[in-house]
Amino acid sequence: MKSLLVSVALILGVQSLAQAQVAPVAAPHSEQLKMLESADPALARNKHHVYDFWRIVYEGGHVEQAAQYMAPEYIQHNPNLPSGRQTFVDFFKTARPPKPVADHMKMPVFSIVAERNIVTIFSARKVRDRAKADHVYTITWFDMFRLDDKGLIAEHWDPSEMWVDGKPPGAEFFVEWDK
């Protein structure tokens, strides 16, 4: 009887774990500008700089404007890309052709936080389970940037693991940003 109760408890526990996730929910695009506000003008400026970099250079593909946002000696902590502004430009020149710049970040953002010279963007990202391809789930993602004393992005961190087939986790869902 005791082993039956343990088995039932384990089964119920596994079922609850399978449905345990509460997916992060992004703020409406209309609220992104509010995320840039700060009582400290330097923090507000840093947030806005990273926000514009993301919209114009990263999502918009306008790498010709990278020098306005990134330090030449830009340090990249993502294990899939080398450091350097020019390396970033060369990679994204083909990966993201230029397109019209949106008035908001297209990725699903739920917070933009700044402290000292660090700005962190928290977003929701869909990924496909590598072991069970029909299972798509949402994770919390972050991109963190350090700005140098000139106000340029000097360093970037994210939680990326090594890409599969040359693509980041959830790459197939990035097209949803264009909606």
Instruction: Answer yes or no: is 123 within a domain.
Output: yes
Each residue's pLDDT tens digit, 3-14: 544 444 444 454
Kindly report the CATH number assigned to the domain that includes residue 48.
3.10.450.50
Instruction: Answer yes or no: is 9 within a domain.
Output: no
Distant-in-sequence, close-in-space partners of 26: CB < 8 Å, separation ≥ 6: 108, 109, 110, 123, 124
Instruction: Answer yes or no: is 159 within a domain.
Output: yes
Each residue's pLDDT tens digit, 23-53: 888 899 999 999 999 999 999 999 999 999 9
User: Residue 98's domain spans which residues?
Assistant: 24-178
Our count of domains for the chain comes to 1
Instruction: Answer yes or no: is 133 within a domain.
Output: yes
168 versus 39: the higher-pLDDT residue is 39
Distance CA(97)–CA(100), nearest Å, equals: 10
Instruction: Answer yes or no: is 8 within a domain.
Output: no
